[in-house]
Amino acid sequence: MRCVFLPWVTAAVLLLGHLSASGETGPGALPLQIINFNFETVQVTWNATEYSGANWTFFYKLRDNEDYRECSNYTLRQGSTTGCILAVEKDELLYFSIRHGTDSLLDKTQWISSYLKPRSPRGLTFQWRQGAVTVTCSDLRYRGLLYEIQHKTTFDAEWQSNEAKTCNVTLSDLDAEKCYFFRARVKTLESSYGPDTYPSDWSQVMHQQQGKLRDSCQDKRLSPNFLLITGMIVFLTVSLLFLSLWKLQRIKKVLMPSVPDPKSTFSGLFESHQGNFQEWIKDTQNVTHLNKTEEREQACILEEAVVVQLAEAERPKTMPNSPMGLQMGEEEAAGDPCRLPRQPPQGRQVASLQGFTFVMSDNSYMML
């Protein structure tokens, strides 16, 4: 007897139920799994956890007129037998019995095609033409199968599927400039084999671009970590920008206080008087309005008084009747629009004595 250690099959596990020795389900019976690998080998696996420490023997035959023989290729788990692998060549009836010593725990007969798992497609070829590609491979030697071809790009989240009864599947609406992933598998038709079969494993993923086989497709999608880091950097940058602007506004208010709006300080200046300050003063402060002539005279009087005081303090003493004194008086009169040439008052007498000029009224006198 030859024993081998095999891992549990990665395909979907089909439990046939708790089978009793008579073939009926019931508590305490043995869960069982059968997989027919492409009509080449059959693996029968049982779960004997309820019978810890017991080694079970597997007896089988493929023809009714044969004698039972013990399994020569066991699978083991933790030192106990958990299954048997048998070599087959075609769809046959499998007669088997699981025993412990002379006690039979289970006796059953099954068509191995009911638990078929086809082999994965091999030798995929691609023929590109005008936005379409035809994927072909070698067909399996038995019928009742569906060949499924899936494809996607680096920008697709899910695979897109196409099926055919032969391994000759045409995919349309493809862009040869893009890089595509391709994979294939084989499924059985339920009408031919029943509901308890398994699809094949997926073939190796192949990459195609511009009609040529590529080692890989460069993934141009942004990874979630990259998007997260980029988003955090953008958020921090915007936050610092707003903080800087807020600080700048505070500094600006300290260094350059804002000028108050006259509209809020002078109520009614712009609403009622359209910015005319004199009108606003007259209306709100009861100030007597001066006409333009009076305003000009008052301004000239004030200006003349100031100029005279400054001139008397700074100018050198000169004789009033000297030519220089006359010339300066004329220049001052000419340069100052508020100062008019001094003329003798009308209706009064003028007397001159040694260069001095005197104006006399009717009730005045002069002592020499």
pLDDT in tens, 297-335: 655 665 665 566 566 665 555 444 544 444 544 554 455
Quote the CA–CA distance of 319 and 325 in Å, as a whole number.
7
Give exposure, 49-88, as e/b (b: 16+ Cβ within 10 Å). Answer: eeeeeeebbbbbbbeeeeeeeebebbbebeeebbbbbbeb
Q: Would residue 287 count as lying in a domain?
A: no
Quote the CA–CA distance of 317 and 324 in Å, as a whole number.
11
76 and 138 in one domain? no
Q: Would residue 366 count as lying in a domain?
A: no
| Among candidate residues 187, 214, 241, the one where a domain is terminated | 214
Mean pLDDT along residues 61-65:
89
308 and 210 in one domain? no
pLDDT at 18: 34
16 and 49 in one domain? yes
182 and 202 in one domain? yes
Q: State the greatest distance between any 2 C-alpha atoms of the chain, in Å, as a whole number.
A: 182
Q: Which residue has the higher pLDDT, 222 or 195?
A: 195
Range with the poorest average pLDDT among 153-167, 187-201, 319-333: 319-333
Q: Residue 18 burial (CB < 10 Å; 0-12/13-18/19+)?
A: middle
70 and 9 in one domain? yes
Q: Would residue 243 count as lying in a domain?
A: no
Confidence of residue 103 (pLDDT cuts 50, 70, 90): confident
130 and 105 in one domain? no
Residues facing residue 213 across a β-bridge: 208
User: Per residue in 1-57, pLDDT tens?
Assistant: 333 333 333 332 333 333 333 343 343 467 889 999 999 999 999 886 766 666 789
325: number of Cβ within 10 Å: 14
pTM of structure: 0.53
Give exposure, 197-229, as e/b (b: 16+ Cβ within 10 Å). Answer: bbbbeebeebebbeeeeeeebeeeeeeeeeeee
| Among candidate residues 214, 238, 253, the one where a domain is terminated | 214
Q: Residue 159 burial (CB < 10 Å; 0-12/13-18/19+)?
A: middle
Joined tokens for residue 231 = 């988003």
Which percentage of the chain shows pLDDT scores above 90?
35
341: number of Cβ within 10 Å: 8
25 and 111 in one domain? yes
102 and 13 in one domain? yes
12 and 106 in one domain? yes
Residue type, 137: C
Q: Would residue 348 count as lying in a domain?
A: yes
Quote the CA–CA distance of 25 and 81 in Å, as a whole number.
22
Element containing residue 163 per DSSP (H, E): strand 160-164
User: Per residue in 67-101, pLDDT tens?
Assistant: 999 999 999 888 888 899 999 988 999 999 998 88
- Cβ contacts of residue 330 below 8 Å, gap of 6+? 341
129 and 113 in one domain? no
Position 178 pLDDT exceeds 60: yes
Q: Would residue 319 count as lying in a domain?
A: yes
Q: Would residue 331 count as lying in a domain?
A: yes
81 and 54 in one domain? yes
Confidence of residue 223 (pLDDT cuts 50, 70, 90): low
Q: Would residue 78 count as lying in a domain?
A: yes
| Among candidate residues 91, 117, 143, the one where a domain is terminated | 117
How many folded domains does the chain comprise?
3
Check which CATH number belongs to the domain holding 42 and give it: 2.60.40.10
- Domain range for 89 is 2-117
12 and 35 in one domain? yes
Q: Would residue 196 count as lying in a domain?
A: yes
